Structure 1
């Protein structure tokens, strides 16, 4: 009975907290007693009061037992406007900080749905119009929605104030991707540099600033150059400020908007006719399935993981001797081919020769076209750790050693089935891509709905937190909002970089440059549209300068270098606090804003 009473009390308390506003007697705002006789009302002694909040609230506890009386010009509590009429709001700093965390997590969830749904759709339909036109736009959708709602609210004065949130997100996303994430990928993905090139999977020189780092291919340099070109609209919109003239500012916004939209269309068309980023992702999915298939086969031969999930070198050594039929202490391509045939890769229609090449590329670190015992042990151990990391990331928990390989094989088999190009004879998998396509579309719709629903309350929470703490909303959105909208992309990039391969490093940095490019053209197009349609004042010189500096510095790095020693990450990391400090000095010391 006591439990039922507690439950009922909790329910009624919650209902009371969630209840909407109510009204009792009306306190008239009549300035003089003589007015009562004219209106036919009888005064109760309370009149000439300011409009107060319609919600009942507890006064803040103070040390004194008596609170000072309210005057006509003061309010008991700052009011806030509930988004959609029911979402919570507050005027306190800690309350808004909590709301930023909650709404930010929802935006992170939306970004994750959009990212995962886009990848599923890409694997099913392949590169082309979907991969080149539709998916890049979806990747930048959460940022674009936040920018839209930041400039649509209220009057022109309110929009001019809240649009700083959108500019903070635009600048913060670009700076975070090219500084914090870029530098982290260099550290996580580093390996030894020999003859000006990083050697795949060879990491013996620790944190050497000059003898360790990452290498990328020439296509990644092209992606960096495209990113550098995408800053042209920022330069155009700043031309009136550069020449110290107030005339032509609105024209500059319009011209910059046209150029940004043109660059956006051109970039999407380029992705359609040059879909090398999407093709690289698909090829990597196949490569990962080779790893999973071999591990699954070895799991049937013997147990090769210790109880704590670490590779058992003794068992792996026995496996090597089993495969080495001629006993020469080396695995030739013929012996590897026999191993591949035994794995039954026919179920996914994977080319045997291609699988052997992938094995040699991963295992043969000496380059002699054969695998010795040490290389085999190191390669298998690396694959096991990769499987553990992948399965743990997907399941949010670490499986037991005995189930690890099976889980990894099942996960990668599902990923490979999503490619949709197994061949005409793969009739058994025909229904699965169809089901997965529905799943992908559902994830995209759900992600879009969540982002659209909670973008506005997130912007309001940032603006209210800025008011409560007197911290400019630009700095709050610069630091906090990119964490919500880009975290999923950042985690994916770090996982790819950790594989310590030129191929995966190239994909990682290409994705970073591509994300910045979409920020610079799509999100800027949305921002410029708001400024032009709402007739807002373009007063963001310091913020634009920060974007230009970071994009130019990192764009030059990526355009003319394919090897990045470890010392380059220090430049990237330093650019982040430098950007914040520069905006503060220019806006609040030199008065640019």
Structure 2
């Protein structure tokens, strides 16, 4: 069915353009642009960023069009170009879906690492990067300078759409009831659209992804330095430095993603350690309660109780705790990690407490070890909690964290019966998507440019609104599906994907754009566009960097930012004349 739809679109596409398609030379012959008029010495060419009715040279463009690849249709009518944008946009959407599906298949059978850290992010940003290249790679320098606005519109529009429209939509779709301690209750959505009673909760790793996204705007700041200091010299050098910085940030981000499995394993090991600490402390506290609480009412460690526990465990009264004496304390531990045994816990205690490595603990080693563990426990728990329940809260949190991380680890790899067939299908999907994107990127840019000429609407606004729908729809659909599962884990995955996509826009796509500007010698004159990117990334990034729960009302902040960015660009560029 999907193949039939594609073929149908291509057939209709060819017939749709026959009536309005004209070869540029024929149109030029019908318009005497080089008549025998006497020049008054004034150049009346209109800047492509000013909203005016076409005159002179622009009339020629408005009354004719040039077929892409000398075979694909083109038209000068508004409806015709709108139809072409829809068709080419759909084809770019299919290309993005093919590449996304193929890379996800590889990720499922091969796990993260090179696939998840390098190929997946780059393939996700490939359609955007390709459109950026196409927008300014062909034609004369003047044509490229005019069309490169389309690339900037896509670059800004993608980041803004992801952090506003998609961010807010995922919050609405994934909302759950918020408990009394402001945490979302998984799969429970009884409060409907309560602005303060429903929302989502994410893990701390998602906040880290948000902070990485904020760092990715550094190249934007660098390229604007000459504009900020109002200097006309050094613009090309600044563009080059910003380009190198963007590519460097991209490489660092990909390296971080490649190493993420190692980081994930360390996180799991650390979570297991904290869980073991919580269980042992709780076990000691419950069994030795008659000797005193491990924490005093002022939340300070009870050293006297710790020393009494040591003396009680020291059965032979030799001033040392042997492995056998410690084993009696650890018997009956209920560890969340099914692979950890009492012997493992005993080894952990000895490795962390036995500073003299003599395979036994004296009073000082035992006391210092327990004090260190109590510090880990109390520093993790809200300080307003009562001392008597802090250890219980700490244990509950370690269970939740460990369960979350182990589920991620278990779902990383999927066993398949015929991996070679999966590899082949994945490669074909990615290759087909890349070819499809490569073929129809240029026609889409031409259609946007022609629609801009036909409607007198600046191409930036068209590409800002329309083109991200084509290139980011697959990410949007995936994010909404994840969010609809209504759990902390899926919410974390959803927003991590969004922040990762914006980071790739700010590194890969910007790096490609800056390289294009530098190589072709184009002017960097996009202060308003850069400003809206900085505003949205900083507002949403800072909003999500220091909290993990987001009530429903925050979705309105995201939604309002979208029209605000369009208004800012319009006012700065077309009223105040920034560009």
State TM-score, norm by structure 1: 0.63
1:16–1:580 distance in 2 versus 1, CA, 3 Å:
closer
Residues 475, 17 of structure 1: alpha-carbon distance in 2 compared, 3 angstrom cutoff:
closer
Q: Does 1:137 align with 2:117?
A: no
Q: Deviations over 1:208-245 (max 9, x none)?
A: 11121000000000000000000000000001111111
Specify which of 64, 68, 90 is matched with residue 83 of structure 1.
Answer: 68
Structure 1 residue 460 corresponds to structure 2 residue 469: no
Select which of 172, 180, 203 maps to 1:187.
172
What is the aligned partner in structure 2 of residue 100 from structure 1?
85
Q: 1:278 to 1:588 in 2, by over 3 A?
A: farther
The answer as to 2:472 corresponding to 1:497 is no
Q: Distance in 2 between matches of 1:131 and 1:241?
A: 38
Q: Which runs of 5+ in 1 are unaligned?
A: 1-9, 30-47, 53-72, 280-351, 355-416, 423-428
CA RMSD of aligned residues (A): 3.3
CA distance in structure 2 between the partners assigned to 1:14 and 1:490 by the alignment: 32
**d(CA) in 2 for partners of 1:219, 1:469:** 46
Contact 1:114 1:447 in 2 (8 A): yes
Please tell me whether residue 121 in structure 1 is matched to residue 106 in structure 2: yes
Query: Does 1:581 pair with 2:567?
Result: yes
1:553 paired residue number: 539
Partner of 1:150: 135
Q: Residue in 2 aligned with 1:511?
A: 497
SS of equivalent residue, structure 2 residue 450: helix
Choose the corresponding residue for 1:176, options 127, 137, 161.
Answer: 161
Q: Is the 8 A contact 2:89 2:444 kept in 1?
A: yes
User: Are 2:433 and 1:447 aligned?
Assistant: yes
1:402-456 superposed Cα distances (whole Å, 9 cap, x missing partner): xxxxxxxxxxxxxxx997654xxxxxx54x2210110000000000000000000
Return the alpha-carbon distance in structure 2 between the equivalents of residues 277 and 488 of structure 1.
28
Q: Specify the SS of the correspondent of 1:201.
A: coil
SS at match of 1:214: strand
Change in 2 beyond 3 A, CA 1:79/1:435: same
Q: CA deviation at 1:17?
A: 5.1
Which of 414, 418, 421 is the aligned partner of 1:435?
Answer: 421
For residue 572 of structure 1, what is the aligned residue in structure 2?
Answer: 558
- Encode CA deviations 1:367-403: one digit per residue, 9 max, x unaligned: xxxxxxxxxxxxxxxxxxxxxxxxxxxxxxxxxxxxx
Structure 1 CA distance, aligned partners of 2:99 and 2:431?
8
Give distance in 1, aligned partners of 2:518 and 2:577: 24
Deviation per residue, 1:65-101 (Å, 9 max, x gap): xxxxxxxx99898221111110000111111111000
* Inter-partner Cα distance in structure 1 for 2:542 and 2:512: 27
Give the alignment's TM-score, normalised by structure 2. Answer: 0.65
Q: Structure 2 vs 1, CA of residues 49 and 225 (structure 1 numbering), >3 Å: closer, same or farther?
A: closer
Instruction: Tell me if the contact between 1:418 and 1:436 (Cα under 8 Å) persists in the aligned partners.
Output: no
Shift of 1:129: 1.2
Distance apart, 1:353 and its partner CA: 7.8
Change in 2 beyond 3 A, CA 1:21/1:100 = closer
- For 2:458 and 2:232, the matched residues in 1 are separated by 25
1:69 aligned residue: none
Cα distance change, pair 247–564 in 1 and its aligned pair in 2 (3 A): same
Deviations 1:177-227 (A, max 9, x none): 000000011111111112021111122222111121000000000000000
Give per-residue Cα distances to partners, 1:248-300, cap 9 Å, x unaligned.
11111111111101100000000011148999xxxxxxxxxxxxxxxxxxxxx
Q: Which of 208, 220, 225 pairs up with 1:222?
A: 208
1:186, 1:251 → 2: CA distance? 42
Match of 2:251 in 1: 265
Helix, strand or coil for the counterpart of 2:466?
helix
Quick one: distance in 1 between partners of 2:118 and 2:61? Answer: 53
1:201 aligns with 2:187: yes
Q: Is the 8 A contact 2:82 2:451 kept in 1?
A: yes
Tell me how many residue pairs correspond in the alignment. 401
Out of 447, 460, 475, the position equivalent to 2:461 is 475
Within a 5 Å distance, the mapping from 1:151-550 to structure 2 comes to 151-194=136-179, 195-275=181-261, 422=415, 429-430=416-417, 432-550=418-536
Q: Deviations over 1:428-485 (max 9, x none)?
A: x54x221011000000000000000000010000001001100000000000000000
Q: Please say if residues 208 and 545 of structure 2, whose CA atoms lie closer than 8 Å, have aligned partners that are also in contact.
A: yes
2:287 corresponds to which residue?
none
Counterpart CA distance in 2 for 1:173 and 1:221 is 21
Alignment partner of 2:189: what SS?
Answer: coil
- Partners of 1:466 and 1:264 in 2: CA distance: 33
SS at match of 2:76: coil
Aligned to 1:320: none
For residue 51 of structure 1, report the CA deviation from its aligned partner.
8.9
Flag the 1:461–1:16 CA change in 2: closer, same or farther, 3 A: closer
- For residues 77 and 238 of structure 1, the distance between their equivalents in structure 2, rounded to whole angstroms, comes to 34
Checking the alignment, whether the CA contact within 8 Å between 1:122 and 1:278 is kept in structure 2 is no
Cα distance, 1:134 vs. partner? 1.5
Contact 2:18–2:73 under 8 Å retained in 1: no
- Which whole-Å CA distance do the structure 2 matches of 1:173 and 1:587 have between them? 20
Relative to structure 1, the CA distance from residue 81 to residue 209 in structure 2 (aligned partners, 3 Å threshold; closer, same or farther) is: same
**Contact 2:20/2:77, CA 8 A, preserved across alignment:** no
Partner Cα separation in structure 2 for residue 465 and residue 477 of structure 1? 10
Q: Verify the 8 A CA contact 1:227 1:516 in the aligned structure 2.
A: yes
Structure 2 CA distance, aligned partners of 1:74 and 1:475?
Answer: 21
